[in-house]
Amino acid sequence: MDDRFLLGGVEFGSRLILGTGGASSLHALEQALLAGGTELVTVALRRVDPSAHAGLLDVLERCGVRLLPNTAGCYTATDAVRTAHLARDAFETDWIKLEVIGDDRTLLPDAVELLRAAERLVGDGFTVLPYTTDDPVLARRLADLGCAAVMPAGSPIGSGLGVSNPHHIRLIREAVRCPVILDAGIGTASDAALAMELGCDAVLLASAVTRAADPVAMATAMRHAVLAGRLAAQAGRIPVRHHALASTPADGLATW
Amino acid sequence: MITILVNDVPRPAERGGTVAELLAGLAVPRRGVAVAVNGEVVRRAEWPEHHLADGDRVEVLTAAQGG
């Protein structure tokens, strides 16, 4: 079935976007990325550590994935915009996963700062992929600004709580024309499948794979979950009923 | 000599030295690096021409694992 995923004018075969945070080693990360079949991978921008072993970019190049730099750790629009410009210079891409966090307890987005940053970055020519709340109105505002996608949190980053408010995710899908990517909160494969069944175009996750006991197995599970969820979303599921509807016909039933 | 702050660590540098010369003296990756001086982005193309001054705060950033 032809089911292309277009994001920022680029076609992807995989609807699973993986974050690189939390992996125990670069080797473990590489194995998980390959198992997940992802084509788009997030990276952060941090101070050079001369004592650290470099090579993250080498791993990502070997995997043949496209880079999606993030602005993780930014609390203001000013910081996020500056970080995005630094990322563009470092990685030679104008794609940015825009994160503007409100507090360190929930790591949920600060809506006001997020909108400010998105507006400036769209104006600066970035392909902006904002990590947002599951608020359909905020998602529409971000889309109206010209963001290439909206990426609502299913639940707080790293929580593994899954999709807390499926109704809102569905409303977001109805509210915007751009791709909707469920970002954050995924704990296991069924969460990813649910996000896709709700109409999301892709799923972005990191911890669920990198911090799983067996990251390769979980990455494989996520690959299948995203495929299954996408197929189910397009398959026309049966309506939910409150009483049974026999699948075996009563006609021809023996009488005793 | 002047003193600049590289990622918050004081470091002596030649007066009139450039960002490019500073990076050449640091163990930084050959790609995937970005620089800000006093909070302003200094683009790669500007590294050879951007001269550092005493007390400049230089941020040298690169790729790290992150979601």
Between A45, A91, A207, which is nearest B67 by CB? A207
What is the number of residues in chain A?
A: 256
In SS3 terms, A104-169 reads as CCCCCECHHHHHHHHHHHHHCCCEEEEEECCCHHHHHHHHHHCCCCEEECCCCCCCCCCCCCHHHH
Residues of chain B contacting A204 with CB distance shorter than 8 Å: 67
The whole-number pLDDT of residue B30 equals 75
Residues of A recognised as catalytic: 97
Residue of A65, A70, A46, A193 lying closest to A131 (CA atoms): A70
CB A216 within 8 A of CB A32: yes
Residues of chain B contacting A207 with CB distance shorter than 8 Å: 67
Residue of A149, A51, A116, A129 lying closest to A87 (CA atoms): A129
| Alpha carbon distances (Å) from A208 to A18, A73, A160, A233, A240 | 10, 20, 7, 22, 30
CB A161 within 8 A of CB A185: yes
DSSP H or E segment with residue A227? helix A215-235
Between B28, B59, B67, which is nearest A72 by CB? B67
Least Cα separation, residue A20 to chain B (angstroms):
5
First to last CA, chain A: 49
B28 and chain A: CB distance < 8 Å anywhere? yes
CA separation for the pair B17, A143 (Å, rounded): 45
The whole-number pLDDT of residue A200 equals 98
Kindly determine whether residue B66 and residue A46, on different chains, have CB atoms separated by under 8 Å: yes
Kindly determine whether residue B34 and residue A45, on different chains, have CB atoms separated by under 8 Å: yes
B64 and chain A: CB distance < 8 Å anywhere? yes
Question: Chain B residue with minimal CA distance to A17?
Answer: B67
CB A142 within 8 A of CB A108: no
The whole-number pLDDT of residue A54 equals 65
Structure tokens, A159: 């929580």
Q: Which residues contact A176 (CB under 8 A, 6 or more apart)?
A: A139, A140, A143, A150
Kindly determine whether residue A20 and residue B67, on different chains, have CB atoms separated by under 8 Å: yes
Mean pLDDT for B13-25 is 91
Burial of A47 (0-12, 13-18, 19+ CB in 10 A): middle
Q: Output the DSSP codes for A152-220.
A: E-SSSTT-----S-HHHHHHHHHH-SS-BEEES---SHHHHHHHHHTT-SEEEESHHHHTSSSHHHHHH
First to last CA, chain B: 41
B2 has pLDDT over 60: yes
The whole-number pLDDT of residue A226 equals 98
ipTM computed for the complex = 0.93
CB A219 within 8 A of CB A35: yes
The whole-number pLDDT of residue A143 equals 98
- Beta strand A16-19 pairing with A40-47: parallel
Structure tokens, B44: 């790669």
CB A188 within 8 A of CB A224: no
CA separation for the pair A72, A49 (Å, rounded): 18
Residues in chain A predicted with pLDDT less than 50, given as ranges, are none
Least Cα separation, residue A252 to chain B (angstroms):
59
